[in-house]
Chains A and B, each alone.
Chain A
């Protein structure tokens, strides 16, 4: 077999070789549950939601197809939307739900009648049966839930191929058994890509529909470093790629070639991530997301439970710093015990610090108590507290007052604690503009590029259609970073970056030149970024940054960066 290559977007700087396994989450619906257990209203709602999701997907697919193959080829998707919204389908599904079927089975039963009818017809009508199957599969997939195939029990050495992988899909993947994955859709900042990095899995996203031609059982190499999928690699390629660890791990702080220290830290979102961050040589934790403590449970974690978790993180990095972000939650994540509002656009709604100073004030205080107690521990590294989604100086002032009153409470109770370093995550354009006004209230800034890009560019994360806009190489984003760093210059406030940009070794020199003191990323990227830092000189980096800040288009920025990495 000769080698063939498909290209996509590399999600992790790792490569892996294995056997292709197609992941089709719609394989089997199983037998329907007892009708007594079905809440028809809930099922109708699930159907509506799934239909909206499927409609979005079909439209996106139409756009992609029009771009790749032309308008004529994409027209079939118009018919798919019409099948999806067909009054007979709606009536059929609603009737089936009324008979006590869950949404997935109701969809299946309704479509089956029409598929059979079309198959019994001649010629072009029969072809329509395939279109109906496609629409049905989308709906059933969108209804997901417990009806998915098991990704946790794949044979060792599998390379998972899929249309898309949801965060819950990737979370099931076991890096010990899975050699990597490749998906038809998705971009570098899609959730699947981010999960892949946190699991250190070789992965390529956005390969396009050509991926569908790769058969189950084919030998493939997933090379996330340059975003290629090699199909049927020859022995030489295989030997050269398989199992190669990209860069050696370095412990201890790295300096640029001319002696400027740059802290290289890791982002963590679970307790398990702590160990992997330490293994990969992170100097500390630049972003400790605390949401995992609060999700998937019936009541919020208590003060002691949180204290133990934070203390453990500090013990993992006895000589480093652990930046803990306070609870960043909003209407996009379901939390049973919180009364989260149903918002049209949760990313612009009541979330992050807005909730902590509002309806979740009690949770915020409990979290601060646990954090201050952990900060008071002699053993372990230094703890810092960081506020998410700040937009005004008042929010910072109010949060600081809360922290100080929590400290006073602890003292009057005779509980040991300490005031930690206090900082703000720069992820709204408002905080970038206000950086100079925020300086006097904080010890540090950490630029959260994923959300900053989304808000500066008004381009949703993970939306393929606006992927080019939602890119941290956009000059507007670089200028927001510059404004923040410039505000801190000559003060004691340090500036870090936590976000996908910080973990991209291709922009490390640019970030050093922009004046960042700390870079925090998925653990998997730490060794590469440490190497990139050590190969940089501050003088060259500053010149590159000056040229990048003068650029007016992303294309110019891209050209500057390729010139450098050439």
Chain B
């Protein structure tokens, strides 16, 4: 199952605009995508509630896991969002 670990760059962490962009991108794919702290439980990446509940801050590492068609493409896009500083997305 494709997965990767990404360091969260935006100053806001997974909150506000970056979180919205992240959830929006994850919802575009018709496959299951999960996200979580590196050593923690994974949650649905298309759920704003779940993402907000993770409370990820800037500089933290998160684990992304996707399964199904286009899994790699989805992970590429989500990684790009997480590693783009705010205001440049």
Q: Which residues of A line the B interface, CB within 8 A?
A: 75-76, 78-79, 82-83, 86-89, 114, 117-118, 121-122, 124-125, 128
A-B CB pair tally, cutoff 8 Å: 43
**A263-B1 Cα distance, complex, nearest whole Å:** 79
**Cross-chain contact A83 with B53 (CB below 8 angstroms):** no
- List 9 A-B pairs, minimum CB-CB distance, nearest first: A82-B48, A78-B20, A86-B49, A88-B49, A125-B55, A86-B47, A88-B47, A128-B52, A86-B48
Residue on A nearest B24 in the bound complex, by CB: A82
Taken together as a complex, chains A and B put the C-alpha atoms of A114 and B47 apart, in Å, by 12
Residues in B whose Cβ lies below 8 Å from that of A83: 48-49
Do the beta carbons of B47 and A75 come within 8 Å of each other?
Answer: no
Which residues 1-56 in B have Cβ within 8 Å of A in the complex? Answer: 15-17, 19-20, 23-24, 44, 46-50, 52-53, 55
The number of residues on chain B lying at the interface, defined by a beta carbon within 8 Å of a beta carbon of chain A, is 16
The answer to whether B20 touches A87, judged by C-beta atoms less than 8 angstroms apart, is no
Question: Given the complex of chains A and B, what is the CA–CA distance between A133 and B15 in angstroms?
Answer: 18
Q: How far is the CA of A117 from the CA of B54 in the complex (A)?
A: 11
B31: min CB distance to chain A, Å: 14
Most chain-A CB neighbours within 10 Å: which of B15, B19, B47, B48? B48
User: By the criterion CB–CB under 8 Å, are A124 and B15 in contact?
Assistant: yes
Which residues of chain A have C-beta atoms less than 8 A from B19's C-beta?
79
Please state if A87 and B55 are interface contacts (CB–CB under 8 Å).
Answer: no
Are A118 and B52 in contact, CB atoms less than 8 angstroms apart? yes
Are A87 and B44 in touch, CB under 8 angstroms? yes
Taking the closest CB of chain B, its distance from the CB of A131, in whole angstroms, is 9
Asked if B50 and A82 make an inter-chain contact with CB atoms under 8 angstroms apart, the answer reads: no
Partner-A contacts on B (CB < 8 A): 15-17, 19-20, 23-24, 44, 46-50, 52-53, 55
Residues of B within 8 A of A87 (CB): 44, 46-47
Complex-state Cα separation, A246 to B4, whole angstroms? 72
Given the known inter-chain contacts A79-B20, A124-B15, please indicate yes or no for A117 contacting B53, CB distance below 8 A. yes
Known pairs A75-B17, A121-B55, A122-B55 / 17 extra A-B pairs, C-beta < 8 Å: A75-B20, A78-B17, A78-B20, A79-B19, A79-B20, A82-B20, A82-B48, A87-B44, A87-B47, A88-B49, A114-B49, A114-B53, A121-B53, A124-B15, A125-B52, A125-B53, A128-B52
- Bound together, the chains give a CA A124 to CA B23 distance in angstroms of 18
Q: How far is the CA of A114 from the CA of B48 in the complex (A)?
A: 11
Task: Report A-chain residues with C-beta under 8 Å of the C-beta of B20.
Answer: 75, 78-79, 82
Cα–Cα distance between A86 and B45 once the two chains are bound (Å): 11
Q: What are 5 A-B pairs at a CB distance below 8 A?
A: A88-B44, A121-B53, A124-B15, A125-B15, A125-B55
Residues of A close to B52: CB separation below 8 A: 118, 125, 128
